[in-house]
Chain A
């Protein structure tokens, strides 16, 4: 069965520290997609990144970077030089092949990591 584990429930850092949020997944699919979403204190869910299983290149976007390693089934997210505005809950998600819906897929969500960046 597909599963997403975010082992870190809460992380607290001081501003300007680097922080890595872990995401480990399980799937039998050979083709799958991984996602990260951010949920700031205001409550909305903001899409950050999508990665497909054939692309193991690391992604960097400003202070954010993602490390996808199929060998360890991990898709970790690093924030460099964290800022107070990075304080949020971060969710990792995995697409699942739904037999009832042909090639359409649903998302399997991790439980999230709550990141607090303190001034």
Chain B
């Protein structure tokens, strides 16, 4: 079974609809992230959470919100979807381990979202 799962894998929706993307992990990591990927723009960080009570905005958080329901679950919501939120969305996790260290992030399979 995959360590980081995302649901749904694909979603087509209409402008103005509320959408929730879910991420679950079995790696036991305390840090979780949401990214979007657009052609030519690479990966951009939307939100990140270093533990259940710590949620931070990334570089492009406008139009998005998140919820860290448990250590293993991190959801991304689009309250009112718009066409320029059409993108590939990735959830990622990492382990904090040592203070001052930095560990690699492990990614889910991605959710392809299309907003019409």
Contact = CB atoms under 8 A, between A and B. Distances in A.
B104 A104 contact: no
B22 to A, nearest CB: 17
B103 A107 contact: no
Interface in B26-68: 31, 40-45, 48, 50, 56, 58
B9 to A, nearest CB: 10
A101 B110 CA distance: 26
Contact of A101 (B42, B56, B90): B56
A104 B50 contact: yes
Q: How large is the interface on B (under 10, 10 to 19, 20 to 34, 35 or more residues)?
A: 20 to 34
B88 A43 contact: yes
21 contacts: A37-B107, A43-B109, A45-B90, A45-B110, A46-B107, A47-B105, A47-B106, A101-B56, A105-B102, A106-B45, A106-B48, A106-B58, A107-B45, A107-B105, A109-B42, A109-B43, A109-B44, A110-B42, A111-B40, A111-B42, A112-B42
Interface of B: 31, 40-45, 48, 50, 56, 58, 88, 90, 92, 96, 99-100, 102-110, 112
Interface of A: 31, 33, 35, 37, 43-47, 50, 91, 95, 100-101, 103-107, 109-112
